[in-house]
Amino acid sequence: MAKRALLVISHDKVQIDDLTLPSADESSSDQVDVKNNLPSQKSASKNIVRVLSKTCDEPNGKFHGAIATVRLLLELPPALILLDSEKFGECAIKLMKNHNPFKSDRSIVSIAIEGDDNDCKVSTPFKPIGNIKPVDVARCIENTDHEVDLDLRQKTVIFTYLNPPSSN
């Protein structure tokens, strides 16, 4: 028997009644509300992108403090899956800014999304953190020769940050 979900769309919200979503008692500060694209503490909301795991890597030696990689395993809500890849891009950018290990608006970053063939990632070019737009992420997903299926409930996103030296 197929999974049944009720989708109600109005001009200001997307609500899904889906029994496969996590229970309301699960909570995390690493959540992005799909509707408003803002961090949310409301665990009862069904329109939440959840960060299931986070790993950070930073090299030792002379590149310490200059390069960092943050890998997030995300749980995507059905509402986001039903929307377009640009909405996914909005969420990825919000998470990119929230998880910037250098806490600098001068950081240069690339967003990579793991492909479903487990060999390949698709990624945006490196740009200043304020210059990456949702359409950049959408183009990255749509213009690839490799499969990036946003219909999957979990997706790994990798942010590679470069921290340019301060100019004095």
Q: What is the pLDDT of residues 18-54, one digit of tens each?
A: 333 343 444 444 666 655 554 444 444 566 788 999 9
What pLDDT shows up at residue 168? 60
Residue with the two structure tokens 């029994």: 19
Q: What are the pLDDT digits (tens) for 68-116?
A: 999 999 888 877 766 777 888 888 899 999 999 999 999 999 999 886 5
CA distance 159 to 168: 28
Query: Per the structure block, which two tokens stand in for 42?
Result: 């409301």
Q: Model pTM greater than 0.85?
A: no
Alpha carbons 123 and 127: distance in angstroms, whole number: 11
Query: Is it the case that residue 128 has pLDDT exceeding 50?
Result: yes
Contacts 24+ apart (CB under 8 A), 53-56: 54/30, 54/99, 56/101
Tell me which of 109-123, 125-139, 153-167 is least confident.
109-123
Long-range contacts of 35-40 (CB under 8 A, 24+ apart): 35/79, 37/90, 37/91, 37/94, 38/94, 39/94, 39/98
